[in-house]
Amino acid sequence: MKKYDYLIVGAGLFGSIFAHEAAKRGKKCLVIEKRDHIGGNCYTKNIEGINVHKYGAHIFHTSNKVVWDYIQQFAEFNRFTNSPVARYKDELYSLPFNMLTFNKMWGVITPQEAEAKIKEQIAQENITEPQNLEEQAISLVGRDIYEKLIKGYTEKQWGRKCTELPAFIIKRLPVRYTYDNNYFYDTYQGIPIGGYTGIFERMLEGIEVKLGVDFFAEREMYESLAEKIVFTGMIDEYFGYQFGKLEYRSLKFENQLLEQSNYQGNAVVNYTDGNVPFTRIIEHKHFEFGTQEKTYITREYSKEYAEGDEPYYPINDERNNELYAKYKVLADAKSNVIFGGRLAQYKYFDMHNIIAEVLFCVEKELN
């Protein structure tokens, strides 16, 4: 008889929900987390009364009522709607592309004029089979929008020229002939009042959590403690990188506390000019309509992943997907380990996707 029913590696969204649901069903759980805090990438830290999203802006959105109802038990959400602004040199544009964007770009007034302008721009280029991301984007929205709002941002994000990126990266570019600048199409959206960390504190209440513990530092000891493991770390690391390393893109965050109450008037401003090195600036207080005297901003840079960096975005190209498939075969053969979450499943998941995933997993495992 082992001491715990479940050892949960990682106190992010997947691990914390699993632990919460297992504990609710009378299972004894131990959560270990290598960082010095819970919450994974959703973690927020209160600095000068502002809830700072330490691992990048996190906006909760979903159309799944079950997921929305589930998360509501841990926090009340505010009415925040993501309406980013794009800055190209000294021009400001509304995102996603909508009537405000088109009016600023060309002075057009009606939806018909905007549609005609975009069609005219697309026709001018005469691209029948896009050979790369640049041609794909131009064939969808025309040259002006591409040059000012897509090119620089995308090149910074990927660290490569748009002409060197495959066309399939952009399948479609939403164009709205309305004044709706709500970035998401989902039914529900908001930011937890008081920040995300409180959600995790409530989920993990009464559960044993050890922070600053890397599973791999004392792997055998931790494995011996529990009947089953829920692993939310990197799948290639779990299997000793035996087939090679999976690749990621990483981010660098540059933070600044400013002695002014309002820096940019919006939570998210994208810098779409290729000459500006960062991709966007987040002004955290605007996620919660903050009225503090100071403000806290984060410049976000996209970067190549190197040893020691945070693995933020999986690069799901052919090479990496094939590699992941090999690890997945090994993972499926391990009946006493559940591999869950963005690192173990090597896939980008939004928070609502993770909640759906873990609830499905709970249903299979615990009901």
Residue from 57, 122, 359, 362 binding ligand FDA (CB under 6 A): 57
Q: Is 219 a catalytic residue?
A: no
Footprint (CB under 6 A) of ligand FDA, residues 305-344 = 312, 341-343
101's tokens: 């964007």
Q: Which residues of 299-323 are buried (b: 16+ CB within 10 A; e: fewer)?
A: bbebeebeeeeebbebbeeeebeeb
**Binding of ligand FDA by 34 (CB under 6 A):** yes
Residue 21's DSSP bridge partners are none
Between CA 202 and CA 216 the distance in angstroms is 27
Q: Is 249 a catalytic residue?
A: yes
**Binding of ligand FDA by 10 (CB under 6 A):** yes
* Minimum separation from the CB atom of position 343 to ligand FDA (A): 6
Q: Which stretch binds ligand FDA (CB under 6 A): 3-11, 64-72, 97-105, 283-291?
A: 3-11
Q: Exposed, middle or buried: residue 293 (CB in 10 Å: 0-12, 13-18, 19+)? A: exposed
**Binding of ligand FDA by 232 (CB under 6 A):** yes
Of 186, 184, 156, 151, nearest in space to 170 by CA? 151
Between CA 282 and CA 58 the distance in angstroms is 11
Whether omega before 96 lies within 30 degrees of 0, making that bond cis, reads yes
Q: How many residues bind ligand FDA (CB under 6 A)?
A: 35
**Binding of ligand FDA by 233 (CB under 6 A):** yes
Residue from 21, 27, 33, 273 binding ligand FDA (CB under 6 A): 33
Q: Is 348 a catalytic residue?
A: yes
Q: Is 300 a catalytic residue?
A: yes
293's tokens: 């005297």
* Minimum separation from the CB atom of position 345 to ligand FDA (A): 8
Residue from 78, 350, 359, 366 binding ligand FDA (CB under 6 A): 350
How does strand 268-271 pair with strand 280-283? antiparallel
Q: Is 172 a catalytic residue?
A: yes
- Residues forming the active site: 172, 176, 249, 280, 300, 348, 350
Q: Which residues in this chain contact ligand FDA in the complex, by CB under 6 A? A: 9-15, 32-35, 40-42, 55-60, 214-216, 232-233, 251, 312, 341-343, 349-352, 354
